Structure 1
Amino acid sequence: MPRSEFLPPSPPEPASALSPGPGAVARLVRSLRGLPSAERWWGPGCAGLPGWFQAESTPPSDATPRFRELYAQVRRGTPVLPAEANRHLYLLVKGMLGDELFGYLEDNQLRLERRGLDTEAVSVDTEGSLEANVAKIRKALEDAAFFRRSVVLVGHSKGAVESLSALAMYPHLRTGVRAVVALQAPYGGSPVAHDLMASPEMRRVVDIALPLLFYGVSRSVEDLSYPRRMDFVRRHPYPVEIPTVSLASSRDSRRSLLWPVANYLRQRYGLASDGLVAAVDAEIPGSRVVRLDDLDHAQAALLGIPGLAPYHPGDLTEAMVALALE
């Protein structure tokens, strides 16, 4: 097969110019005809890249024991939030496909509101580029500063990366931020995003599916690949002076809906992951890190089936915020 057939396609049209229309699914199926067999889909891989930033940055400190104490207290109904918690505005930032998933981050936000805290969801485009969403987070932080509100940022997955990126890029935003809670953030990159973008065949699927089905842009996935994250983090290192807690988790269980992806990452690279993010990539430099080996990527932001989900999103968020404000 000629080499030219393996080159990435031209960038898709802007999402606003695309409309699914009655024949959208049929067009998508036709566009995927002729793809090579599955074993070639995942490209050269990302071996050796996960955790690349750890040798270049301030190591995190382990706060897992303290988190477990706080989480147990939350489960018993014991108040854990400090008195100062009521003085802050809590900005929540959704991750990839967050607008498409029913109940995503809702229980996390509802728990904070039930504790009497002011919350607001930042209106990011969950299938949009990092650059566009950083601009929205910047505006939200500047608006809070205008009204002299201190802020606690709570981001999940890609939303956490965008929150961290806004603070790394714009020093003037940092003075108004009391703390950051980064839940399962692919700070160093995502092996899944990397493998999707590294394979021309899989990149073609993303280039077609995101605009057609979700009005998104494929750059939202590429922004989380290792080359993109390496370039960004080296130009904009995260300021370790901001009180930050990070959740780095993994789960290798067939009871997890993300087990097939987690199994792929473990079999191919030997990675402990939550199904989308390698645990080592979620440990934010200079943060207090909580390391859990029984939580997948969905369970921190979506209510699970009782008995199958080991953590409750609201309980998890309350304990993480209390840890961040200590």
Structure 2
Amino acid sequence: MDATDTNKEESRIGITANDDAMRTGQITPPLFPSVPALNGAASYFAETTSYLTSCFPVNSDIAPTSYDGTEVVGIKELKEPLLSSNAPPSHDVITRNSDRPQNNIAIVPSDQTSQSGISMFQGLIERVRKTVHGSSDDIGWLQRAPGMPPIEDGTERFNNILDNIMHGIHVLPNSMVYLLVPGLFSNHGPLYFTSTKATFSKMGLTCHIAKIHSEASVEKNAREIKEYIEEVYWGSKKRVLLLGHSKGGVDAAAALSMYWPDLRDKVAGLALAQSPYGGSPIASDIMREGQIGDYFNVRKLMEILICKVIKGDLQALEDLTYEKRKEFLRKHQLPKELPVVSFHTEANISPAVLATLSRVAHAELPAFTNSAATVLPVVVPLGATLAACAQLLQTRYGEKSDGLVTCRDAEVPGSVVVHPKRKLDHAWMVYSSTNDDPLEPDASQVCEALLTLVVEVGLRNKHYLSVKQE
């Protein structure tokens, strides 16, 4: 066997060894442990790319010599896991006969091509890695952030309060004003929070729904909520207890974080229901570069919908991404003395939920006689849509969610956390379902129980503070 054949054999052995290492999991870990088909495809792509990049030699000013007298040229090969960017690059080698100088001259133009080829494949690998990885490192980042206060589980106490409410025991004081803060797209859902407000009014409680632009940025809405709280307080001389749903909870928390010196004596507490306080993987995957928003033009479609159709601000969706939430919470955090309750749920993803419809509005048919006009409910398959989103988040990230917000991202550090066993999607809190069980509590009763728990937390904190001062 001559030197040329020996070189080819050594190159073949190096490539085969590298492929075996990949198949045994030494180089590329499983990307989709819960989806074997996708995991196999990703592994095959990594092996193919590694082989192709090994075909491009890298230029070297001084080539080292191996033990058999042949010249050795380093080959830059991707051996790092697709889900990690910290592993140092390793090198494979090929050999060529140093007694054939004409090869050195011929390889010079191919070096530039090889660098371009390697950069192309590495760029492709990085793009695939970013797409596959998505929001994996971001979900639940608040629990891992240093210096964050611990949470307290208040589910048991919440269930006791809710049971009392269903038996006609209501303890919310009339000495406060209750402000409901709606979330994204609430301006286009006429029934948003209306049943809760009506229930509170029947109990003799003063309740308002904050009139904010639901598709405005967090900071803009925070300013409007601050002014709304001051107006309510000056008119009633009563402290305000807030409950925000979805982005409304983020907006309300931003108002209290940014303007606490002005609102300290005017606010009694805050409840966040299904709010992406830490961020939302749905918003991040739509807005983040290299994600679904790029490949299917979802970001462009959302821009047209929010900015052109409903005259909103795309910043409203951008503010719910992990990057923006991290940036905001580095500057503004909720005051420690504020009583806070955070509520999150898990959506039902069973096949039966595909038939679930939600009432979002009422349509009034014109009366052709002296009889009253006929009112028909406007229903949409929100339950089925949110169930599909929850299944997507479960499959891709292994995370439980209500369809839009993961359970971990809805937990506010330092708050009393409520997580009921009942399966409820993101829209249930504000839009009633056509197949709700009459024996189960409705959304207005859940809101009442959450606010009652906030009042209890505030009284407990006040008692602890007085004892500490004594």
TM bucket (normalised to shorter chain) is: 0.7 to 0.9
Measured after TM superposition, the shift of residue 304 of structure 1 is 1.2
- Give the paired residue count: 285
Residue 54 (structure 1) shift:
1.9
Q: Distance in 2 between matches of 1:54 and 1:216?
A: 32
TM-score, L = length of structure 2? 0.58
Q: How does 1:1-326 map to 2 (within 5 A)?
A: 45-55=134-144, 56=146, 57-76=148-167, 78-82=168-172, 85-147=173-235, 148-172=237-261, 173-198=263-288, 199=291, 200=294, 201-254=297-350, 255=353, 256-257=383-384, 258-293=386-421, 294-307=423-436, 311-326=441-456
* Conservation of the 8 A alpha-carbon contact between 2:346 and 2:424: yes
Answer yes or no: is the 8 Å Cα contact 1:94–1:155 preserved in 2. Answer: yes
- Cα distance in structure 1, aligned partners of 2:137 and 2:248: 25
Give the aligned CA root-mean-square deviation in angstroms: 2.1
Is the 1:240–1:285 Cα contact (8 Å) retained in structure 2? no
Structure 1 residues 267, 308: closer, same or farther in 2, change over 3 A?
farther
Give yes or no for contact 2:284–2:320 (8 Å, CA) kept in 1.
yes
Larger radius of gyration: 2
Further displaced range: 162-171 or 145-154? 145-154
Aligned mates of 2:200, 2:341 — CA distance in 1: 17
| Cα pair 2:341 2:416 within 8 Å, conserved | yes
> Structure 1 221/43 Cα, relative in aligned 2: closer, same or farther at 3 Å?
farther
Runs of 4+ with deviation above 3 angstroms: 306-311
Q: Is the 8 A contact 1:299 1:311 kept in 2?
A: no
Q: Is the 8 A contact 1:130 1:220 kept in 2?
A: yes
Residue aligning to 1:23: none
SS state of the match for residue 191, structure 2? coil
Q: Deviations over 1:134-181 (max 9, x none)?
A: 111010122234343200011101001000011111122122111111
What secondary structure does 2:343 align onto? strand
1:308 positional shift: 6.0
Could you tell me whether the CA contact under 8 Å between 2:219 and 2:254 is conserved in 1? no
Task: Tell me which amino acid in the other structure corresponds to 2:341.
Answer: V
The letter for the 2-side match of 1:238 is L
Q: Which runs of 5+ in 1 are unaligned?
A: 1-38
In the alignment, the residues of structure 1 paired with residue 390 and residue 265 of structure 2 have an alpha-carbon distance, to the nearest angstrom, of 38
Gaps of 5+ in 2: 1-127, 354-382, 457-470
Q: Distance in 1 between matches of 2:139 and 2:387?
A: 19
Once the two structures are superposed, what CA deviation does each residue of 1:266-292 show, in whole Å capped at 9, x if it has no partner?
000011000010111111121111112
Change over 3 Å in CA distance of 1:203–1:109 after alignment to 2: same
Report if the CA contact (8 A) 1:67-1:290 is conserved. Answer: yes
User: Which one has more relative contact order, counting CA pairs under 8 Å at least 6 apart?
Assistant: 1
1:251 Cα deviation (Å)?
1.7
**Identity of counterpart residues, as a percentage?**
33
SS in 2 for 1:182: strand
Q: Structure 2: how far apart are the matches of 1:252 and 1:296?
A: 7
Which AA in structure 1 matches 2:403? Answer: G
